Amino acid sequence: MTESLKLSPLDAIHRALGASFTDFAGWDMPVRYSSDLAEHHAVRTAAGIFDLSHMAEIYMVGPGAGAAIDFALSGTLSNIPLGRAKYSLLLNDEGCILDDLVVYRTGDEEFLVVANAGNRFVAVEAIRERARGFECVVRDDSDTVALVAIQGPNSFDILDNIDGLEVDGLAELGYYRCLSATFRGTAVLIGRTGYTGEDGFEIYIPATDAAELWRAATDAGETRGLQACGLACRDTLRLEAGMPLYGHELNTFLKPVQVNAARAVDQTKDNFVGRDGVMAGVSAGAAVLVGLQSDGKRAGRADYAVQSNGRTIGTVTSGALSPTLGYPIAFALVEPDFAELGKVVDIDVRGTAIPATVVSLPFYSRKARA
């Protein structure tokens, strides 16, 4: 382990649980505790608890926070009501994607912007720069805020039974809503948000109290099938749910319209960073993001070529043998002529052409299963 890796406030707990670790954006985070597949299935059928303390928490506060965030990000966030969350994008001047984020309205004059760990400094610097001239203070709380996610069909039942968690209205809390609560006297923010495709919650808590919350949650989860889950299963869960991962499906060369993210951009806004680039659109042959499904067990992986009649027409951005569905799934960026649903292409799996069909996203939906 390199000394420069950052440790989560829950690090000692992970080590006691025997987790395997990986360097994730400079953080030494659990990749799995025992089995990726067992952890994946636990989230689909019962519940999983994740340490996401590497995520970046950036607050925008002040009378001009609404105007500042509307200028800084792709969506209109100033008009979302208190207690709502919204997915948004941080664009560069060219209208390409610097990061994808979840924004929570936490006060009349306060927003919490949650950025990817790998983009923390890019996001903080960009938002600071863009908030200049507005009555808005930008505060990077990433080092002092921990994030614990509990995801899966039993997650409400588990939160309802965490000893010391005082919260009103949790049962009524809708998807992409958030509310303030306390855990043993400490203020926490609970979002009904996640990155797994299941019902679930994300709890933002001061780093100093995170270990106590984790223990209380695992106590409540003991009889409710709660499994400690690492980043490996988080990746297969989000892939099945059709959710993009920055650095794979999203990057600084792609515009939102190429990656099914146009809905996160409000083109009616007068002015925001990236507006001109978005309005300029994309060239005729620009790649678009599609979902691919194959038979058998051999999955395409990131950077594998997508071909048609032996000609390369795209690239896989993420892929795996879907643990829930039992067949290989992948995201790929392909030439627009091959993006139509039902189109059949090949994935070059280390020299073998594996046929794959363009399918609609998400690959997995809990609603469709019910």
Partner 1 sequence: MSIPAELQYTSEHEWVRIDGDLAVVGITQYAADALGDIVYVDLPKVGRAITAGSVVGEAESTKSVGELFAPVSGDIVEANQSVVDSPELVNSDPYGTGWLFSVRVSSLGDLISADAYAALIAE
Which C-beta is closer to partner 1: that of 215 or that of 298? 298
Q: How far is residue 207's CA from residue 162's CA, in Å, rounded to a whole number?
A: 18
Helix then strand count (H, E) for the chain reads: 9, 21
Which C-beta is closer to partner 1: that of 4 or that of 352? 352
Which C-beta is closer to partner 1: that of 134 or that of 246? 246
Q: How far is residue 154's CA from residue 149's CA, in Å, rounded to a whole number?
A: 13
**CB-CB contact of 343 with 292 (8 Å):** no
Applying CB under 8 A, which of residues 20, 144, 252, 365 lies at the interface with partner 1?
Answer: 20
Which C-beta is closer to partner 1: that of 253 or that of 327? 327
Applying CB under 8 A, which of residues 24, 25, 35, 266 lies at the interface with partner 1?
Answer: 35
The least distance separating partner 1 from the CB of residue 135, rounded to whole angstroms, comes to 46
Q: How far is residue 325's CA from residue 111's CA, in Å, rounded to a whole number?
A: 37
320 binds partner 1 (CB under 8 A): yes
Which C-beta is closer to partner 1: that of 155 or that of 236? 236
**CB-CB contact of 20 with 32 (8 Å):** yes
> In the window 190-209, what residues touch partner 1 (CB under 8 A)?
none
Q: How far is residue 235's CA from residue 331's CA, in Å, rounded to a whole number?
A: 12
Site string for partner 1, 326-355 (x = CB under 8 A): ------------------------x-----
The least distance separating partner 1 from the CB of residue 2, rounded to whole angstroms, comes to 15
Q: Is the dihedral of CA 189, 190, 193, 197 positive or negative?
A: positive
36 binds partner 1 (CB under 8 A): yes
323 binds partner 1 (CB under 8 A): yes
Site string for partner 1, 259-298 (x = CB under 8 A): --------------------------------------xx
Number of residues forming the site for partner 1 (CB under 8 A): 20
236 binds partner 1 (CB under 8 A): yes
DSSP string, 161-189: T-TTEE-SSTTTPPTTBEEEEEETTEEEE
301 binds partner 1 (CB under 8 A): yes
Helix (H, G, I), strand (E, B) or coil at 148: strand
Site string for partner 1, 114-143 (x = CB under 8 A): ------------------------------
Which C-beta is closer to partner 1: that of 220 or that of 354? 354
**CB-CB contact of 59 with 110 (8 Å):** yes
Stretch that binds partner 1, among 71-79, 104-112, 229-237, 261-269 (CB under 8 A): 229-237
The least distance separating partner 1 from the CB of residue 298, rounded to whole angstroms, comes to 6
**CB-CB contact of 221 with 21 (8 Å):** no
Phi, psi of 221 (to 5 degrees): -85, -10
Query: Between the CA atoms of 10, 198, 221 and 39, what dihedral angle is there, to the nearest 10 degrees?
Result: -70
Write the CB contacts of 263 (distance below 8 Å, at least 6 apart in sequence): none
The least distance separating partner 1 from the CB of residue 227, rounded to whole angstroms, comes to 14
299 binds partner 1 (CB under 8 A): yes
208 burial (CB, 10 Å; 0-12 / 13-18 / 19+) is exposed
Which C-beta is closer to partner 1: that of 162 or that of 299? 299
What CA–CA distances, in Å, run from 186 to 84, 110, 166, 233, 245?
A: 21, 19, 10, 30, 32
Site string for partner 1, 80-119 (x = CB under 8 A): ----------------------------------------
- For residue 210 the two structure tokens come to 């995170």
Applying CB under 8 A, which of residues 286, 305, 321, 359 lies at the interface with partner 1?
Answer: 321
The least distance separating partner 1 from the CB of residue 367, rounded to whole angstroms, comes to 24
Beta bridge partners of 332: 290, 316
Applying CB under 8 A, which residues contact partner 1? 20, 31-32, 35-38, 40, 232-233, 235-236, 297-299, 301, 320-321, 323, 350
